[in-house]
Amino acid sequence: MAAKSLIIPVILFYIIFCTVLIADAQPGRKKELSLNEKVEQLLDWNTKRSIIKFNGDKYKTFVKSTPRNYSVVLMLTALQPQRHCSICKQASDEFQIVANSWRYSQVYSSRLFFAVVDYDEASDVFQSLKITSAPVFIHFPAKGKPKKADTMDLQRVGFYAEAIAKWVGERTDVQIRIFRPPNYSGTIAVIMLFSLIGGLLYLRRNNLDFLYNKTSWAIGALTIVFAMTSGQMWNHIRGPPFMHRNPQSGQVAWIHGGSRSQFIVETYIVMVLNAAVVFGFILLNEGASGKGDVGKRRIIAVVGLGIVAFFFSLILSVFRSKYQGYPLQFFDQVNRSW
């Protein structure tokens, strides 16, 4: 009886032992890397490129799995031309500046690594993180899981290299001093502008009456006003994307849905709408105080009024799309004014 009672445990042990041997002998099975092996491999890749390129397997090995005593700042992007993600290229350039500044700084160490995952090469990473748009910057701390603040708010702070470095410093306590490659395009543009103005003044040196032309100065002043009121200075400070294209559906957004951010193309739209409203008021003024046939002046005034009503209603539509629940429309404003 004792011998029979030992048969079942022996058989179970034999089955488990064979299962382990077969699993270890599988060619596709990968050996788990130790912490030192991970760090050495990342450092080796970092000597070749400031930003390490991850696929799905590398992401699981060096970011998701433990042990890990280093932080990873991961950029999820879609750089393939068929994705039509113009902002991804701009964000990638700024991310590269941050990574280069860290890689070649005197305080560089294995505490922090910069990596990138492209949607077309590792869509499973996007799915695991539930990411449906690009670009996205996520910080994976050395210990624990990423928190809400570990995802960079691009709509609020933009994606300039300085903003990325500041966010990285807040999440990792690693202060990165940004070193940008020299860019002489602004200096060249200013020199060309002043050269053009100087050349025009030289050619018209015998007749400078155009400098006293009120219409020219008015157009110049209005151009500056339109640029400032449409948000061009905000664009220069925050560096928002030109527009947004959903990498999955391909849908293009020209107007940002939030009240605290905007797209570059959105400012151009607002500028044109403001200019059209001003043009309508100019026609109204000409129709009311101009000289000439009364019938023509009346037509000009009616056209001006129509332009003001139409384009001002479009401005309110843009305003309502950014401030959800805004109750007023153009005719409500007219009724309230009466």
Query: Which helix (H) or strand (E) element contains residue 20?
Result: helix 2-25
Question: In the predicted model, what is the mean pLDDT of the chain?
Answer: 82
Q: Residue 324 — very low, low, confident or very high, per pLDDT cuts 50/70/90?
A: low
First CA to last CA distance, the chain: 105
Average pLDDT over residues 11-26: 54
Q: How confident is the model at residue 10 (pLDDT cuts 50, 70, 90)?
A: low
With a cut of 60, say whether residue 84 has pLDDT above it: yes
Mean pLDDT computed over 25-45: 76
At 177-207, the pLDDT tens digits run 998 877 777 788 889 988 988 887 777 777 7
Is the predicted pLDDT of residue 28 greater than 50, yes or no?
Answer: no
Contact 76, 139 (CB under 8 A): no
Q: Which of the pair, 87 or 74, is modelled with greater confidence?
A: 74
Q: Nearest 5°: CA angle at 158, between 268 and 126? A: 110
Q: Model confidence over 279-320: pLDDT tens digits?
A: 999 888 888 887 777 788 888 888 989 999 899 888 888 888
Least confident of 29-38, 69-78, 132-141: 29-38
pLDDT at res. 101: 94
Residue 81 pLDDT > 80, yes or no? yes
* Range 52-66 burial, b when 16+ CB lie within 10 A, else e: bebebebbeebbeee
Residue with tokens 């309110």: 316
**What pLDDT digit, counting tens, does each position of 101-112 carry?**
999 999 999 999
The residue that leads in pLDDT, 255 or 169, is 169
Of the two residues 19 and 68, the one the predictor is more confident about is 68
Q: What percent of the chain has pLDDT over 70?
A: 84
Distances 326 to 32, 316, 318 between C-alpha atoms, Å? 56, 9, 11
